[in-house]
Amino acid sequence: MTTLTAALTSRQRMTCMLERRDHDRIPRYDGYWPQTIARWQSEGLLGDARTVLDMLRSDVVGVCWIWPAPFPGRREILEENAETEVILDRMGNVSRVWKHKQGTPEHIRFDCDCAEKWFRQYKPALLKAGLSVNLDDVAQRAESNAAYPYFRTMSGVESFEAMRQLVGDEVLLAAMALEPEWVRDMSRTYTDLILRDFQAVLDRGLGADAVWVFGDLGYCRGPFFSPSMYRQLIWPDHVRMRKFAHERGLKFIYHTDGDVRTLLDLFVEAGFDCLQPMEAKAHMDVRELAPKYGQKLSFFGNIDMVVAGRGDRDEIEHEIRTKLAAGMSNRGYAYHSDHSVHPGVSWASYQWIIELIDRYGGY
């Protein structure tokens, strides 16, 4: 590999990684649970999540978050106790959430449970709801980050995740088999609105370097649907999102949890630039995937936080060293945890991870 003597900016570094060209070191970024930061502060961290990202020498900053909803701003508390609240939310759904910690909500009722409700109530509500992003807030965030040339991402949900959160997995997956035209209409509608909101950010002059969309297509044993069903119902709108990005000179990064190995050929065919976060406990492994796909797709993540949580320094070093070597072999790899850093990871272990990335992450 070519050694670059001059350090690149974050924007240059991430762009080179996504194009699989020579660069100086792997880009870095990560996500942390609030409880993780609280634990680390009790173990000696002087600062917050931003402090940790600075120590990591993070290269990425988010410009905005896009998620169209039929009833923006709605959050009605239906009942509560000392630990939880039952809320009616902006999707029209009822769920139980923790008051004082982060966690998966308990879904009690998805109101949009049939095509008739979608066409009569929810689709019209979405179409009249307006932008899902506050452009003034985006402008303020952009101003605060202007002094440093971060790689800037416009982030948001994609249509499958939006549909899951509107109608629930059970209704959606049955509809994909039994009512495909309803699913196509929901996917197209959401994609239209998401791209409208991304365009509004660009029209305001709030520039970005990539579109980074989030939608979990699988679980630990595979995708939620077959590759052929994905191609027929969801993939065309993913292609639209990728084309939107590339036509504006932006890169396209796709986030999905779960084992999506059987979908990778379709990701490549769609023209995705990068896959993130590559969940290790769902059998995603850059050491296996980079030799097959690394010439056509960059990888972002895959560092196993289950391993990090065990705290064994030798095991953590093997995880970092071997996965960085695999991803870097094609110059298309960026550091990230394989999901986010949970509170089972000690501050000492995460500092060791940073040290190892510095040791093994240079070209």
55-82 residue pLDDT tens: 999 999 999 999 999 999 999 999 999 9
Structure token pair of residue 191: 């994609």
Evaluate whether 323 touches 287 at the Cβ level (below 8 Å). Answer: yes
**212 shares its domain with 99:** no
Q: What is the pLDDT of residue 90?
A: 95
Question: 354 lies in which domain range?
Answer: 10-70+112-360
**96 shares its domain with 55:** no
d(CA 75, CA 228): 38
**320 shares its domain with 346:** yes
Kindly compute the dihedral angle of the four CA atoms of residues 206, 127, 67, 332, in this order, to the nearest 10 degrees: -70
Number of domains in the chain: 2
Supply φ then ψ for residue 285, to 5 degrees. Answer: -145, 115
Q: What is the pLDDT of residue 349?
A: 98
**202 shares its domain with 346:** yes
Q: What is the pLDDT of residue 6?
A: 62
Structure token pair of residue 262: 């059987």
Q: What is the pLDDT of residue 182?
A: 98
Evaluate whether 334 touches 25 at the Cβ level (below 8 Å). Answer: no
Q: What CATH number is associated with residue 23?
A: 3.20.20.210
**191 shares its domain with 299:** yes
Question: CB atoms < 10 A from the CB of 57, how many?
Answer: 16
**100 shares its domain with 128:** no
Evaluate whether 23 touches 331 at the Cβ level (below 8 Å). Answer: yes
Residue 118 inside a domain? The answer is: yes
d(CA 256, CA 242): 15
Phi-psi sector, 157: left (phi>0), alpha (psi -120 to 50), beta: beta
Give the residues of the chain that fall short of pLDDT 70. 1-6
**30 shares its domain with 156:** yes
Residue 187 inside a domain? The answer is: yes
End residue of a domain, out of 111, 140, 162: 111
Residue 220 inside a domain? The answer is: yes
Angle between helices 180-203 and 159-167 (to 10 degrees): 120
**94 shares its domain with 210:** no
Q: What is the pLDDT of residue 174?
A: 98
Q: What is the pLDDT of residue 3?
A: 46
**95 shares its domain with 233:** no
**81 shares its domain with 196:** no
Residue 4 inside a domain? The answer is: no
**64 shares its domain with 77:** no
**206 shares its domain with 286:** yes
Q: How many CA atoms lie within 13 A of 207 on its CB side?
A: 9
Q: What is the pLDDT of residue 2?
A: 43
